[in-house]
Structure 1
């Protein structure tokens, strides 16, 4: 098992465990590794430190939110040059997040600018910066993730990224509240080369109106060969990250999906997306 999406302390919101304890828990649970994600900090250095004392692979990356000026090639260059493997387009400071009244730093710090970020077709002015970021990710054969961008932006990004040589693409939990992408559209985009659709335990436990049956239907429509399962755990009221990902596999298997294929979705497929 390999968890492509986990949150740990230190963070601006409460987390169940810190980096060291999360990674130790994965090792004790027999996982091969994980990707540490933070909305407001590069996790590259944290991943390298956390991996030093455990026999698992730990990778980091950056989410392009307000702390780095949004869709900022300089932030991406610094992250990738330091060994980062994942670049997430805007998440907590995406315009979709604000429209859905979901948490962001400026939502809790009213002394900060409420500025949000977008890419084409929502914000054509960011096109060149987004293209530059795609080229940078392609140069290191890294993973480009769509973050919380809207469906039209995700379409533009996947098409543009492929044209510019990106070989690893992840639709970040497209069935979540943001972007709320229908399964048929996710399946269409995942049909392209190197593109995978993420489904998370966080959706199962915390997304309003979400059920195991709906997640199973979404996964079936996309096709398990194009699905990666992640925990997106780390919240104090979620299970430990390894247990959270195991729970997702178990729940989807009880809905009739093939357990062996599901374990690949939570293991070899996500790991292959980040291993250099």
Structure 2
């Protein structure tokens, strides 16, 4: 299996283990690798070190939040030039995060500005911002990297998808679209998948999304079809160890009658094709 979404320490939030401890959990569980995600910094250096030490396919990237430079072509270029494979649009600094009351760095440091980042057309953007977004997308296309929607709204995800397709970006992942943000409906998710977008469901949603039910997650999986990606999004002290979290997600969905071989492929073949092929 290959997990495209996991968090580890060091981080501004408490995590269940440090990089090496999480990597050891994946190795012991027989995983081929994982994508290390941080909301506040590039994880490329950490991932490359883990890959060299463990022999697993450990992949890094960057989430375009303010501490990592925001929607900043220089940050993206440095990430991709140094071997990063995954670019997430804003997560903790997305306006949806603030509106939903989800965690932000400014919760820990009240002196920080609580302003947020956004992608057109939901909020007005300056010409410079549009130019920066265009260059970020051009860089992703040039390096054939993975573009993830982060915590953007549904309208922003649609706009970003259209921009990505116009640049022939083929590795496009809707970051947990049925999560609290962006809270997409089943028909909208199915439409994205039909047009070639990958759709992520995370084990985190099983335990930490109050409005989510297992039956609804199964509907999302069906809507995604052969574009389904199952990931853990684990690393929180209140979640199981990431490899076990992902296996529990598979067991939960299989228990609702979904085909186990398809679910297992969605946690192995599909994510490897998305990130590494």
Normalised by the length of structure 2, the TM-score is 0.97
Structure 1's unaligned 5+ residue stretches are none
Counterpart of 1:181 in structure 2 is: 184
Counterpart of 2:251 in structure 1 is: 250
CA deviation after TM superposition for structure 1 residue 58, in Å: 0.1
Matched, 1:83 2:86: no
Equivalent position SS for 1:52: helix
Partners of 1:131 and 1:161 within 8 A in 2: no
Which of 149, 155, 158 is the equivalent residue of 1:146? Answer: 149
Q: How many Å separate the matches in 1 of 2:220 and 2:82?
A: 36
Q: How many Å separate the matches in 2 of 1:154 and 1:248?
A: 25
Q: How many residues align?
A: 274
Q: How does 1:93-112 map to 2 (within 5 A)?
A: 93-112=93-112
Partners of 1:34 and 1:57 within 8 A in 2: yes
Matched, 1:49 2:52: no
Which of 210, 213, 222 is the equivalent residue of 2:212? Answer: 210
Query: What RMSD in Å do the two structures reach over aligned CA positions?
Result: 1.0
Q: How many Å separate the matches in 1 of 2:119 and 2:207?
A: 30
Matched, 1:220 2:219: no
Equivalent position SS for 2:140: helix
Instruction: List, as ranges, runs of 4+ consecutive aligned residues in structure 1 with deviation greater than 4 Å.
Output: none
Partners of 2:180 and 2:209 within 8 A in 1: yes
Structure 2's unaligned 5+ residue stretches are none
Q: How many Å separate the matches in 2 of 1:238 and 1:189?
A: 29
Counterpart of 1:161 in structure 2 is: 164
The Cα offsets for residues 53-78 of structure 1, whole Å up to 9 and x where unpaired, read as 21310000000001133211111011
Q: How many Å separate the matches in 2 of 1:13 and 1:266?
A: 26
Q: How many Å separate the matches in 2 of 1:183 and 1:71?
A: 29
Q: How many Å separate the matches in 1 of 2:115 and 2:269?
A: 38
